[in-house]
């Protein structure tokens, strides 16, 4: 059976060019979680080993959204985002703190507002903030950062879920869809001469 070579080869280039953007990757993980759920509440209940993988997909999407927005806006570099203090780039809370430090904003409200400003789901702010810094998700973030969630290598209490799964999926998905607008907000906030710890929103 023939194989598709999606990446192709460019022997003249020494720099690896990714065939998908950060936004596309973030959205892909959210869509994968959506596909796992499939609007079937019985599927996770009947297949409990899928639940940590489903949760991991949503955290992967949010991680990429934060990282992509921070790097593309010039807020921080890829090396900064991937160092050990950031749990090799998998520390959701650490990445958000890094963005806050670079912008001079008080964690974590302004970052959440920037990432969710264009989201239409009414629970987006609440859900994204819970994922980033909520106490109830502390062990979930740890399990995600160590990749235990992705391999379903979890014990009781290692991860939490949100009861309203469709709202959770939609909030993460909209954050990925609107990451380009988040980049605009971060860029303008970063270049603003104001020393305010909060930001003004520029609607486009």
Distance CA 18, CA 104 (A): 31
Please state which of the ranges 47-56, 105-114, 191-200 shows the lowest mean pLDDT: 191-200
Q: Is the pLDDT of residue 204 over 50?
A: no
Statement: residue 159 has pLDDT above 80: yes
Confidence grade of residue 19 (pLDDT, cut at 50, 70, 90): confident
Give residue limits of the domains in the chain: 22-191
| pLDDT of amino acid 66 | 95
| pLDDT tens for each residue of 73-107 | 999 998 888 876 655 568 899 999 988 888 877 78
| 33-65 pLDDT per residue, tens | 999 998 888 888 899 999 999 999 999 999 999
Q: What angle do CA 33, 35, 41 make, to 5 degrees?
A: 85
Alpha helices, DSSP H, located in the chain: 22-37, 42-46, 50-72, 78-82, 92-103, 109-116, 124-133, 138-145, 165-177, 179-191
Can you give the pTM of this predicted structure? 0.88
Rg of the chain over all Cα atoms, to the nearest angstrom: 18
Tell me how far CA of residue 57 lies from CA of 13, 72, 146, in angstroms. 32, 22, 14
Higher pLDDT, residue 74 or 8: 74
**Residue 142, token pair as written in the block:** 């740890």
Res. 203: pLDDT tops 50: no
Burial class (CB in 10 A: 0-12, 13-18, 19+), 14: exposed
Taking residue 71's Cβ as centre, other Cβ atoms within 10 Å add up to 18
| pLDDT band at residue 120 under the 50/70/90 scheme | very high
Write down the pLDDT at residue 10.
Answer: 46
Inter-axis angle of helices 124-133 and 50-72, to 10 degrees?
Answer: 90
């Amino acid at each position: 059976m023939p194989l598709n070579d999606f990446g192709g080869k460019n022997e003249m280039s020494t720099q690896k060019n990714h065939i998908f953007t950060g936004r596309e990757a973030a959205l892909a993980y959210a869509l994968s979680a959506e596909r796992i759920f499939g609007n079937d509440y019985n599927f996770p209940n009947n297949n409990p080993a899928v639940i940590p993988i489903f949760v991991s997909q949503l955290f992967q999407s949010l991680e990429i959204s934060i990282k992509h927005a921070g790097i593309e806006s010039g807020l921080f570099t890829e090396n900064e985002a991937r160092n050990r203090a950031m749990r090799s780039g998998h520390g959701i809370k650490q990445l958000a703190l890094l963005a806050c430090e670079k912008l001079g904003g008080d964690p974590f409200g302004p970052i959440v507002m920037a990432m969710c400003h264009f989201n239409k789901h009414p629970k987006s702010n609440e859900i994204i903030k819970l994922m980033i810094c909520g106490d109830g998700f502390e062990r979930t973030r740890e399990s995600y950062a160590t990749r235990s969630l992705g391999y379903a290598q979890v014990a009781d209490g290692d991860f939490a879920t949100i009861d309203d799964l469709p709202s959770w999926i939609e909030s993460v998905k909209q954050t990925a869809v609107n990451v380009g607008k988040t980049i605009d907000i971060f860029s303008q906030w970063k270049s603003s001469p104001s020393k305010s710890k909060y930001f003004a929103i520029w609607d486009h």
